A and B are shown apart, each in its own frame.
Chain A
Amino acid sequence: GQNIDQPTEMTATEGAIVQINCTYQTSGFNGLFWYQQHAGEAPTFLSYNVLDGLEEKGRFSSFLSRSKGYSYLLLKELQMKDSASYLCAVGLNTDKLIFGTGTRLQVFP
């Protein structure tokens, strides 16, 4: 079966750095996505990793290790608006996208 694990909740302080981890066991892996979802809104795309290593995009970076079935999303210089849920999702070679349960991040002043 397919399994994706990430922490349920995290808290951090404005201006700090936070790392959200995701581990997965899937068959037919074809890439890992991170999405951001504010309460009551649609998920929006943040990043995509298909090869091992770090992808940086402004304040957000995402890392992938395929051999370990592990990814993380790194958020730097946290802002209050970064308070949201962060969804880890695995793309399968069947073109399906399977989501983890999401990590709710609360940023405090």
Chain B
Amino acid sequence: DADVTQTPRNRITKTGKRIMLECSQTKGHDRMYWYRQDPGLGLRLIYYSFDVKDINKGEISDGYSVSRQAQAKFSLSLESAIPNQTALYFCATSTGDNTEAFFGQGTRLTVV
């Protein structure tokens, strides 16, 4: 079983719909991150959380919101999806202090 699990793995949704991407981890890490990856743009940080009561905006948070329901769960929501949010989304965890990050397998989201 994967240490960092993302659901769904693939999703096609219509413009204007609300969608939630979920991430759960069994690594016991406090820090969790959401990135999106677009061709030619690399991985860009959307939101990050250092513990259940701590949520921080990343480079590109507009149009997204997050919820840290527990140490092990960090969800990303698109309140009203738009086509330029079509991307590959990754959740990641770490222990902090600049240790390595562990990534989930990604969610490929297409907004039509």
Q: Interface of A with B (CB < 8 Å)?
A: 8, 30-31, 33, 40-45, 48, 50, 87, 89, 91, 95-102
By the criterion CB–CB under 8 Å, are A99 and B98 in contact?
A: no
* Whole-angstrom distance between the Cβ of A93 and the nearest chain B Cβ: 8
Indicate which residue in B43, B90, B98, B106 contacts A30 across the interface (CB closer than 8 Å).
B98
Q: Give the A-B pair count, Cβ closer than 8 A.
A: 54
By the criterion CB–CB under 8 Å, are A87 and B42 in contact?
A: yes
By the criterion CB–CB under 8 Å, are B42 and A102 in contact?
A: yes
Interface size class of B (residues with CB under 8 A): 20 to 34
Indicate which residue in A41, A43, A95 contacts B43 across the interface (CB closer than 8 Å).
A43
| Chain B positions within 8 Å of A95 at CB level | 31, 50, 94, 96-98
With A and B bound together, what is the CA distance between A17 and B31 in angstroms?
36
By the criterion CB–CB under 8 Å, are A101 and B42 in contact?
A: yes
* Whole-angstrom distance between the Cβ of A87 and the nearest chain B Cβ: 7
| Chain B positions within 8 Å of A45 at CB level | 100-102
| Chain A positions within 8 Å of B102 at CB level | 45
| Chain B positions within 8 Å of A99 at CB level | 35, 42-44
By the criterion CB–CB under 8 Å, are A100 and B45 in contact?
A: no
Indicate which residue in A31, A44, A50, A100 contacts B42 across the interface (CB closer than 8 Å).
A100
* Whole-angstrom distance between the Cβ of A11 and the nearest chain B Cβ: 18
Indicate which residue in A41, A43, A97 contacts B45 across the interface (CB closer than 8 Å).
A97
| Chain A positions within 8 Å of B83 at CB level | none
With A and B bound together, what is the CA distance between A95 and B50 in angstroms?
9
By the criterion CB–CB under 8 Å, are B42 and A91 in contact?
A: no
With A and B bound together, what is the CA distance between A50 and B50 in angstroms?
22
With A and B bound together, what is the CA distance between A42 and B104 in angstroms?
6
Indicate which residue in A33, A40, A102 contacts B100 across the interface (CB closer than 8 Å).
A33
The yes or no answer to B103 lying at the interface (CB within 8 A) is yes
